[in-house]
Amino acid sequence: MNDDTAAIGIGSLIIFIAMILVAGIAASVIIETMNSLEQQTLKTGQETLKDISGGLHVSRISGYNSASSITQIAIFLETAAGSEDIDLSYSLIELSDSTKQVILNYTTSVFSSTVSNGLFNTLNSSNLSSTTYGLMVVRDIDSSCSSTNPSINDEDLVVLLINTTKVFSGISTRTKVFGQVMPEEGISGVISFTTPSAYIDTIIELQP
């Protein structure tokens, strides 16, 4: 008589070992996938946190009236609460007068560390082009903002100057102007105002 009991036992053992190996491989794949997803989720969360917790805030916009046309605008800019340092050399201004839309970049050649001669007389706006904006420092406690490294942080206040004569050939009355100051990361500062029906004063408050 032949005893096949041992043969059956070895076959079952082989199947059992194979099942353990398959389960181990599957478990390692699942663990690796979970680690990858965890890292991706963490990275996404950090990037999202940067986008929603920091950025720029436009606190006020003033305009310069010359011959019944806004020839310059000054944008008062500061960082949003909780924001990290923002390098304005990588920040853009998107602006439209409802007819024309432009993108402006910062130029190091039109910069002042103070507002020494008035809001619209400190910088020579004629040195600005239709694609550039200048910068004046109003408040910079830690001296982080310079012409070559215009970085601003908490409690800093700067003014961005735009020559609207070169950008839009001036801004007339009853004109809707909108746009944003876009940092490299974070929330953009909103620009939105409509010019008054008549220009009386030389300096006009456009956006509170």
From the CB of residue 76, how many other CB atoms can be counted at a distance below 10 Å?
19
User: Residue 84: what pLDDT?
Assistant: 84
In the chain, % of residues over pLDDT 70 = 87
The whole-model pTM stands at 0.75
Is residue 73 over pLDDT 60?
A: yes
Q: Which tens digits make up the pLDDT trace of 168-203?
A: 999 999 999 999 999 988 899 999 999 999 999 999
> Which positions ≥6 away from 25 have C-beta within 8 Å?
none
Q: Which of 75, 57, 68, 66 is nearest to 206 (CA)?
A: 75
More confident residue, 61 or 15: 61
Q: Which residues pair with 88 in a beta bridge?
A: none
* Most confident stretch, 34-43, 48-57, 64-73: 64-73
pLDDT for the residue numbered 23: 79
Query: Which one-letter amino acid corresponds to residue 107?
Result: T
Burial of 86 (0-12, 13-18, 19+ CB in 10 A): buried
Average pLDDT, the chain: 87
CA gap 158, 164 in Å, rounded: 19
Token couple for 114: 């103070």
Lowest mean pLDDT among 28-32, 129-133, 202-206: 28-32
For residue 118, give Cα distances in angstroms to 66, 113, 138, 147, 203. 16, 13, 11, 19, 11
pLDDT band, residue 54 (cuts 50/70/90):
confident
Q: Taking Cα atoms as reference points, which of 119, 112, 139, 114 lies closest to residue 72?
A: 119
User: pLDDT per residue over 10-40, tens digit each?
Assistant: 667 777 777 887 777 777 778 877 777 667 7
Please report where in the chains the tokens 């694609």 appear, as a residue: 131
Containing 17, the helix (H) or strand (E) segment is: helix 5-53
Residue 134 · residue 123 · CB < 8 Å = yes
- In the numeric block, which tokens belong to residue 37? 């997803």
pLDDT confidence tier of residue 68, bands split at 50, 70 and 90: very high
Backbone angles phi, psi at 17, to 5 degrees: -65, -40
